[in-house]
Amino acid sequence: MFGAVAPEAVATAPRERGWRWFVLGLVLMVAVTASPAWPAPLALLAGAVRLLLPMEQFALLVLTGIAACAIVGWWNGGRLLSAVLWTAAAAYVVWKVPMPLSGYGAFLRGWAVVLGAAFGLVCLATASRPFLARALAAVGLAGTVTVAGLALRAPEGQPAFAGVEQMLTTEYQQRLSGSLEQWRARSTSDTWREFAKRVPLAIERAGRFESLLVMLGEPVSASSAVGGTRASPLVRLAPALLALESLMALALAWSA
């Protein structure tokens, strides 16, 4: 009768989600960005990663996303120093990334900057929305701006996205040839030949995987009536793959 009565609703403090998944995401970010430097035994796997990610420099997208989050945080009362440092770091890396200022290098820089800016603007305008809604809106806004810019810059009398298609085709062929060259050098070594004698099934599957990469990355011959070639399957899927990659980059930036 005189005992303490527990309240009907007890407020519980929010629990930390832990660092495990965030650290795992950072490790995967570094590994994916470094895929061109993977060792020869992993060359086929590296080739698949390089073909599935339209923006091979995944860490750059994450960095511009973190800079956007830092600016939004400062706008909402956070530290100015954090916003300045992250923005300066992102600007430096975007400018100094070892890529030419034309072609794929220009497209990479442009998409990274536009995606970060779009995410920052969406976060400022929709402070009460969950992350996924903001990220989808940011990718849609960045895509709209990019498509409009490409359409305006297209040469007169040519399809609006012919230049981008050719640029991505050339980039994918360079990635594929680099990975396959590394793999074929490995597959002709004495060590690999000894392994092939012991595990012939692995060799057969590696050959199938190599053929699949070539099919996905190389241009496709058009019909005899049309003539010429069409873009490879992965080039045609590049917009969807770029959207998924951008969502993953924004998720990691948001967690950071």
Return the bridge partners of 221, or none: 229
Q: How many CB atoms lie within 10 A of CB 226?
A: 9
Q: Give the span between the Cα atoms of 94 and 107, in whole angstroms.
A: 11
- CB distance 123 to 69 below 8 Å: yes
pLDDT of residue 207: 85
Return the structure tokens found at 129: 């929305």
Q: Give the span between the Cα atoms of 206 and 187, in whole angstroms.
A: 10
pLDDT of residue 160: 64
Return the bridge partners of 230, or none: 220
Task: Provide the 3-class DSSP secondary structure of residue 157.
Answer: coil
Secondary element (H or E) of residue 64:
helix 58-75
Give me the tens of pLDDT residue by residue for the chain, a chain 256 residues long: 455 544 444 445 455 566 788 888 888 899 988 988 898 888 889 999 999 999 989 999 999 999 999 999 999 888 999 999 999 999 999 998 888 888 888 899 999 999 999 999 999 998 888 999 999 999 999 999 988 888 777 666 666 677 788 888 889 999 999 888 888 888 788 787 787 788 878 788 888 888 898 888 888 766 544 456 778 888 889 999 999 999 999 999 998 8
Contacts of 25 (CB under 8 A, 6+ apart): 251, 252, 255
pLDDT of residue 8: 46
Secondary element (H or E) of residue 221:
strand 220-221
Contacts of 189 (CB under 8 A, 6+ apart): none
Q: Give the span between the Cα atoms of 215 and 180, in whole angstroms.
A: 13
The single residue listed with the structure tokens 């929709």 is 126
What DSSP designation does 15 have? P
Task: Provide the 3-class DSSP secondary structure of residue 35.
Answer: helix
Q: Give the span between the Cα atoms of 90 and 68, in whole angstroms.
A: 10
The single residue listed with the structure tokens 């527990």 is 6
- Which pTM was predicted? 0.83
Q: Give the span between the Cα atoms of 57 and 176, in whole angstroms.
A: 16
Question: 84: number of CA atoms within 13 Å, CB side?
Answer: 3
Nearest-Å Rg of the Cα atoms of the chain is 23
Nearest alpha-carbon partner for 114 in 144, 76, 69, 153? 144
